[in-house]
Amino acid sequence: MDLQGIGAIAAVPTTVVVGVLAWWGASRQAKAAAEAGRDQARSALVAAQEQAQSAYQAALDAVREQARTDHRHWRSNLRRDTWAAFLLAASRYDGAAVELHELRDEERALEAARALDQAHDALAEAFAIVELEGPSGMVSNAQALYEAVTRRAGQLTEMAPLHRATHAFDDLLDQERTIVPTLDGGGCHHPAHDADDSLHALGRLWDGIPDDQWERSLTNEQWEAIDDARNAAQAALNACSGLSPEHSRALIDIYSRSRRDWRSVEDHAEAAQVQVDAARERFVIAAREELSAG
């Protein structure tokens, strides 16, 4: 065999080997490329999942924060309305007490007394809602205003019959000064003026009691003089046709106290008004601070 034949024979295995090696190398490269592609795809998938999770969490956090903000606004508005309703109820109750105190007509006074009771019920209901809504600082301020308004209303209600009686009695005195003299030339009986004299006589007995004796019991002589003066005043009031029994009892009650007592009553009424104004101002300031902080 010549050399070309031998070379051809020898060249066949080398070509095969080279081809096999080339195929093997290409296969490995393809496998490596495929593996790299899978890793890349896997990484991309993980990144996409993480990005989606982050976006979802961000959206969820935003929704929760918005919900919390909306809830705070709702709570703030609810408390504002609750406090405003309580403040309005306190003002209406105080106004109803003042109206009852200033009325002169007995029938209208009965209606005003019913209106006062209704206003108190509304105030109590508004205060109960403040207690439920809180916070504790506002509840304390609301309680202070509730007690101040209630105390002042009680004082005005107690004095209302006395004021109506004095107004009715003053009207009788004015009528006797203007109408009666034109009928008889001034020579007729003046029952209201006689009653006025008797009432002042009763009042002078109380005013004549020394200050240091209020801590002790009155003597029998003093009580007898007071009883006689009270009976005389009651008889004189009974002769006044324009006065009701309620008016007479109230007038006797008025003049059965000393000027010291009435000064004390007036001082308490003025102090109650000051307390109401101060409690209302503290409540409003506290409400504004709570709303600003919320």
Tens-digit pLDDT profile for residues 209-265: 776 665 467 778 888 888 888 898 888 888 888 788 888 888 888 888 756 666 666
Q: Where are the domains of the chain?
A: 59-210+217-293
Residue pointed to by tokens 């309005």:
88
> Which amino acid is residue 72, in one-letter code?
R
The tens digit of pLDDT for each residue in 56-99 reads 777 777 677 676 765 667 777 888 999 999 999 999 999 999 99
Q: Considering only CA atoms, which of 179, 188, 195, 176 is closest in space to residue 247?
A: 195
Secondary structure element (H or E) that encloses residue 273, with its range? helix 259-293
**Interatomic CA distance for residues 248 and 237, integer angstroms:** 6
> Does position 168 have pLDDT exceeding 90, yes or no?
no
Tell me which of 3-7, 47-51, 129-133, 216-220 is least confident.
3-7
User: How many degrees, rounded to 5, is the angle at CA 152 between CA 151 and CA 155?
Assistant: 90
**Sign of the CA dihedral 280, 284, 290, 294?**
positive
Whether pTM > 0.75 for this model: the answer is no
Question: For residue 110, which of 216, 213, 16, 246 has the smallest C-alpha distance?
Answer: 246
Which run of H or of E encompasses 261? Answer: helix 259-293
Predicted pLDDT at 148: 96
Per-residue pLDDT reduced to its tens digit, 5-18: 545 545 555 655 55
